[in-house]
Amino acid sequence: MTANLAEHAAGVVGSPIAHSLSPVLHRAAYQALGLDGWTYSRTEVLAGDLARYVSDLPAHQVGLSVTMPGKPEAVALASEVSQVARQTGAANTLIATANGWFAENTDVVGVQRALAEGRTPTRAPQNALIVGTGATAKSVLVALVGIGVRTIWVQVRSTVRPDFAELAQSLDAHLMVAGEPTAPIVGIGYAVSTAPGGSEPASLAGFDLSDATVLDVAYGQGPSPWARQCAEQGAIAIHGSRMLLHQAGEQVRLMTGFNAPLAAMDQALRAAQQGE
């Protein structure tokens, strides 16, 4: 591929940001694509500061990856917002356009493509389980409905967040809150935990996940305790870093115009994780 020598800048912003592996993924993509002159930075941007930061960016800035707490702010500052970013109220991607910034949420695609690496269902699963109903859970909800799920079981420590319930209703998803079932809940095709890393894993009592593909969006070395419990029931567990890879791959496509070199990005990600 012919190298692109023009200067282009991209980067990831949020707080905290030092742990972000986005630079590893995007820089590996630029190298594999032969995009000389492309740079990817990592910058600490506190809550409430994203609009100011964006207004000071240079003209050759092509895009930003946005982590928390800036995802809702990214939607607010954009001149154009995708349907999924509007639905979830969060954007993890900003793309520079002639008319301002375009906001996208590639977490949704990341969830879908990560789950697709699991068990191939004989027919589209109609039921899924989501642990948590926070901001990330909304992206998971949109992703699951997008692949045909219609009944969503949720596990929460207290109550379902109103914005999550409203989103489920707008998507015509049937929301079921997990309590103490009198009989095993079967037919779960997918299960996704959005609980923070290091938190006590949610109980699987009452759920039959023997035919499920499961994903814990929090990632570290090896499977999480929750994912291990699921696997003990026979579920196919997908590591959370697969979502990270696929959402970054979609960002690369949006920012560069080239299909992401996922093999090279995956190799760089695995090497970085082994070095932690």
Range name among 118-122, 249-253, 254-258 with the lowest pLDDT average: 118-122
Q: What's the CATH fold of domain 109-239?
A: Rossmann fold (3.40.50)
Q: Given a cut of 90, is residue 205 above it in pLDDT?
A: no
The CATH T-level fold of domain 8-105+242-274 is Rossmann fold (3.40.50)
Question: What CA–CA distance (Å, rounded) separates 252 from 88?
Answer: 21
Q: Which pLDDT value is given to residue 200?
A: 79
* Active-site residue set: 71
The answer, as to whether pTM is greater than 0.85, is yes
Distance CA 57, CA 49 (A): 13
Residue-range domain boundaries for the chain: 8-105+242-274, 109-239
* CA trace torsion 37, 43, 48, 52 (10° rounding): -40
Task: Tell me the pairing of strands 93-97 and 61-66.
Answer: antiparallel
pLDDT digit string, tens, across residues 104-130 = 999 999 999 999 999 876 666 789 999
Same fold, 8-105+242-274 and 109-239: yes
Q: Which amino acid is at 243?
A: M
List the one residue out of 118, 114, 143 whose CA is nearest residue 128. Answer: 143
